Structure 1
Amino acid sequence: MSAQLRALAAEICYQVIDQGKSLSDALPKGQQKLAFAPDKALLQEICFGVMRQLPQLETVCQQLMDKPLIKQLRPLQFLIYVGIYQLKFLRIPDHAAISETVEAARLLKGQNLTKLINAVLRNVQRKPELFDFSQASSAVQFNHPGWLISELQQAYPQQWQAVLTANQQKAPLWLRVNQQQISAADYLQALQQAGISASQPFAYLPVAIKLDQACDITTLPGYAAGWFSVQDAAAQHAALFLAPEPGEQVLDACSAPGGKSCHLLEQTPGLQLTALDRDAQRLQRVTENLQRLQLQARVVAADVLDTASWWQGELFDRILLDVPCSATGVIRRHPDIRWLRKKTDIAPLTELQQQILQCAWRLLKPGGTLLYATCSVLPAENSAQLTQFLAQQNDASLLPLPELGSSSWQILPGEQDMDGFFYALLHKAA
């Protein structure tokens, strides 16, 4: 089983880096092939770890191999990274890590490479100096692509290193208590009785609870009864900032997987909410979440830009616009993003964001509010978008964000243990 697990890890990492698949797609398919929960957790730990440390793993290999494995042998190159990651970063006994990794090579049709893999891993075991990267490039030192490091250095000259360091940390498990089912105070008590330590870091956001240790959420009190959802505290600010009133028509324009839609309905019963998304498959998650939490909304599979296909002509009181973005603020949760995202992706994304913003603005009532949000840390997707939009729309102005007072908020990864996020609240003149 252990050799199979390592072979699966190598195949998943190969699919992400060489074939451009996301870990969110590739990892669950791999986990389905394992029977036991601890094995599934270890598979995730290894795949996430290889994504986090990839440049350093590659650099170590360059010192120990004449040339990297290519073509049909590429999965075996990733198997070597899997082996090195275990030796360096996991509490697996060295002999087990080496023998199981070598055995996994046979499962990947690499019988004739077992001696090479064994030799590389034994060298890693014997030579800790291989992991001295003090003279290496910043891309290797910080385990991020060079283009992203440059963007962060430019945007955050004082904080770029802190952002890169935060991206390397494991993200905490945040819950959002469903106040329609149970109060936050009662839920904290239920966690305490179950022996799970947790805290409420934000007085103004009492439904946000942070667990001291991550766990299998299906084992938490009230999972099946819809007492809570998993949602980072940064994302939980959306409902607070939009602050709709009962009876209002609200549009969540890019709603999948539905966390913010559900939060709006939990916070304000009696909302007339339209949850819209162009991805019908991801929209299925919205429907499932609504059912589990016992909430109701109009769920529509359509592109917000194609208003003729879905809009019924009634203007919305409030609009939540969590636009498609680079996701550079959630790298600690999705460590593959740094390798899947390219510098050339940013310009088309910013163009799309501006189109969606302009389109949504036309659907907003005079006197209404629109909350613009991204899980990005790049100014091109955030502050620059607002500057461009406000220059073109003379009926648009910024409002102070509730509880903060400022008109926009760039949260950096790790700030108060949250994901990177951006918010700005826009008001349409009456």
Structure 2
Amino acid sequence: MNNQSHKNIRVVCAQAIFNVLEEGQSLSATLTTLNHKIVDKDKALVQEICFGVMRVLPELNFYIHTLMSKVLTGKNRILHDLLLVGIYQILYTRIPAHAAVGETVNAVNTLKKTQLKGVVNGVLREFLRQQTSLQQQFTQDSKQQNQQTLHPSWLLTRLKQAYPKQWQAIVNANNQKPPMWLRVNLNQHLVSEYQQLLAKDDIESETFADIPSAIRLITPVNVAKLPDFAKGAVTVQDLSAQYAAYLLAPQNGEQILDMCAAPGGKTTHILEVAPKAQVLAVDIEPSRVKRIHENLTRLNLHAEVKVGDGLTPELWCEGQQFDRILLDAPCSATGVIRRHPDIKWLRRDSDIMQLTELQYAILTKIWVYLKTGGTLVYATCSILPDENKLQIERFLHENTSAKLQGEIKQFLPTENGGDGFFYAVLKKV
């Protein structure tokens, strides 16, 4: 069983990578559908390989294209993805090189491509022989072509325009593995108390002054190891995402709409801050709405949950008016690339204009359902001005009933800090 599962995890990884790069699926979604093919003890390795390949894809492709005179295409394209898996293991995991090569070559049989076993074996062994010179060559060549940033050129262009002084720091943060932030349920524990529970289990952590509920783990752990996780003592939520509920400032007894609410991290945070608020959580995707229910159940909280489209609120809103609305608008997700490195290869430059149109349309439709005197927090996990600052400037210009409260907040991803997030607090006057 052991050998079989290990043999197959390379196949699972290659299949997942194929689904992302050739079929345009998100990595998280494709790993969920392939989950039944992986035994529990192999899940962490599959995640490590798949997310790692997405992080350093231009580097791995450079080695394959240098070593092969002909590109694998069509029905054999999955073997290209298998080679990505093989080279990633050699470079970035502790798996001994001979084992990484052997298991990756064995996976060719499982894929029923036996006639090409020699090709895969040859490329991987040649990579081992030439590894040092190939890595030097990549560094030299990529300096000329901006490849060492491991980002697509369209995104680099936008980052350089928007952040001429900070774009390199953003790129570097995007290329790191993400930190693990927790949100302590302050109805159950003080942050200092929860830190003591973590320390008892030898889990080191640190707090963050600006957000009273936030803890960063020095080394990420599986949620099953977090004290009282199943009892709702804590939720995994990025630092920047934790600002949403505090900026919304919900009060008990208020009618609150959480729009585009899945998977429910912000919904549950609103209810932790104001347990007696009447919260309606809405999302367009039925599969993701299920996650909202799961999170509410774990934290023993109650909200009304609906499947609904932000473009047609009249179909699910029943004429209701809200004191506060959190709109976490659909966006390019360019602020969370380190958590979802496949975004770099799934997004296109042309997507940004389509997304800005969608965001503006949803914001305009949802604004109607905010009471006079009410507050709307517009949020995205993007760092592109088109989706953020420019969006809000346009809305304020075209809607005299909207006033900006305080300053807009654009967080950029930082190595041990939060992800890239944007917030604007709008008041209806």
| TM, length-normalised to structure 2 | 0.95
Give the equivalent residue in structure 1 for 2:249: 243
Q: Is the 8 A contact 2:179 2:415 kept in 1?
A: no
Match of 2:380 in 1: 374
For residue 29 of structure 1, report the CA deviation from its aligned partner.
Answer: 3.1
Does residue 233 of structure 1 match 2:248?
no
Q: Which residue of 2 aligns with 1:170?
A: 177
Aligned pair count reads: 421
1:7 counterpart SS class:
helix
Partner of 1:110 in structure 2? Answer: 113
1:20 corresponds to which letter in structure 2?
A: G
For residue 275 of structure 2, give the secondary structure of its aligned residue in structure 1: coil
1:206 to partner: Cα distance: 1.9
Task: Quote the offset at 1:415 in angstroms.
Answer: 6.1
SS at match of 2:56: helix
Q: Which residue of 2 aligns with 1:24?
A: 28
Distance 1:36 1:259, change over 3 A: closer
Deviation digits for residues 60-104 of structure 1, max 9, x if unmatched?
A: 111110111111101111111111111111111111111111111
- The aligned amino acid for 2:283 is D
Q: Following superposition of structure 1 onto structure 2, how do residues 185-200 of structure 1 map, counting pairs within 5 Å?
A: 185-200=192-207
Asked if the contact 1:138–1:146 (Cα under 8 Å) also holds between the matched residues in 2, the reply is no
Within the candidate set 317, 325, 329, 1:319 is matched to 325
> Which residue of 298, 309, 329 maps to 1:303?
309
Q: What's the CA shift for 1:416?
A: 5.1
Which residue in the other structure is 1:54 paired with?
A: 57
Unaligned runs of 5+ in 2: none
Shift of 1:185: 2.0
Judged with a 3 Å threshold, the aligned counterparts in structure 2 of structure 1 residues 111 and 314 are, in CA distance, closer, same or farther, namely: closer
* Aligned equivalent of 2:188: 181
**Farther off after superposition, 41-50 or 20-29:** 20-29
- Worse overlay, 297-306 or 236-245: 297-306
Asked if structure 2 preserves the Cα contact closer than 8 Å seen for 1:253 and 1:304, the reply is yes
Matched, 1:279 2:285: yes
Separation in 1, partners of 2:415, 2:318:
41
Q: Does 1:150 align with 2:157?
A: yes
The Cα offsets for residues 210-251 of structure 1, whole Å up to 9 and x where unpaired, read as: 111111102211011111111101100000111122111111
Q: Deviations over 1:400-419 (max 9, x none)?
A: 1xxxxxx1111111265211
Partner residue in 2 for 1:403: none
Matched, 1:344 2:350: yes
Q: Distance in 1 between matches of 2:374 and 2:258?
A: 14
SS in 1 for 2:147: helix
Letter of the 1:344 partner, please give it: S
Q: TM-score, normalised by structure 1?
A: 0.95
Please give the alpha-carbon distance, in whole angstroms, between the structure 1 residues aligned to 2:320 and 2:333.
32
AA in 2 matched with 1:181: Q
Partner of 1:84: 87
Give the distance between the partners of 1:89 and 1:204, measured in 2 at CA. Answer: 35
CA–CA separation in structure 1 for the residues paired with 2:210 and 2:160: 32
Q: Is the 8 A contact 2:313 2:366 kept in 1?
A: no
8 Å CA contact 2:312–2:365 kept in 1: the answer is no
Spell out, residue by residue over 1:110-162, the C-alpha distance to the aligned partner (whole angstroms, 9 max, x if none).
21222222221122112212123223254521111111111111111111111
Please list the CA deviations of residues 14-51 of structure 1 after superposition, one character each: whole Å capped at 9, or x if unmatched.
Answer: 111001111111113333212232x1111111111111
2:19 paired with 1:15: yes
Counterpart residue number, 1:67: 70
Residue number in structure 1 paired with 2:224: 218
Q: What SS does the corresponding residue of 2:9 show, helix, strand or coil?
A: helix
- Identity of matched residues, %: 48
Q: Deviations over 1:319-353 (max 9, x none)?
A: 10110001111110011111111111111110010
- Structure 1: where are the runs of 5+ without partners? 401-406
Paired with 1:412 and 1:151, the residues of 2 have a C-alpha distance of 14
Distance 1:30 1:304 in 2: 30
User: Structure 1: how far apart are the matches of 2:344 and 2:63?
Assistant: 20
Contact 1:318 1:368 in 2 (8 A): yes
Q: Which amino acid letter does the alignment assign opposite residue 211 of structure 1?
A: L
Per-residue displacement from partner, 1:267-309 (whole Å, max 9, x unpaired)? Answer: 1121111111121221111111111101011111111321221
CA–CA distance in structure 2, aligned partners of residues 257 and 77 of structure 1: 34
Give the drift of 1:2: 2.1
Tell me what 2:103 maps to: 100
Query: How far apart in 1 are the matches of 2:304 and 2:357?
Result: 28
Structure 2: how far apart are the matches of 1:301 and 1:28? 21
Cα separation, 1, equivalents of 2:365 and 2:38: 46
SS of residue in 2 equivalent to 1:350: helix
Partner residue in 2 for 1:417 = 417
Partners of 2:213 and 2:89 lie apart in 1 by: 38
Partner of residue 404, structure 1: none
Q: Distance in 2 between matches of 1:287 and 1:333?
A: 23
- Return 176-185 or 329-338, whichever deviates more: 176-185
The CA distance in 2 between the partners of 1:209 and 1:344, in whole Å, is: 37
Amino acid at match of 1:24: S
User: What amino acid is aligned across from residue 60 of structure 2 in structure 1?
Assistant: L
Residue matched to 1:119? 122
Asked if the contact 2:176–2:415 (Cα under 8 Å) also holds between the matched residues in 1, the reply is: no
For the residues of structure 2 that align with 1:134 and 1:120, how far apart are their CA atoms?
22
**2:258 aligned with 1:252, yes or no?**
yes
The one-letter amino acid paired with 1:413 is P
Give me the whole-angstrom Cα distance separating, in 2, the residues matched to 1:328 and 1:51: 14
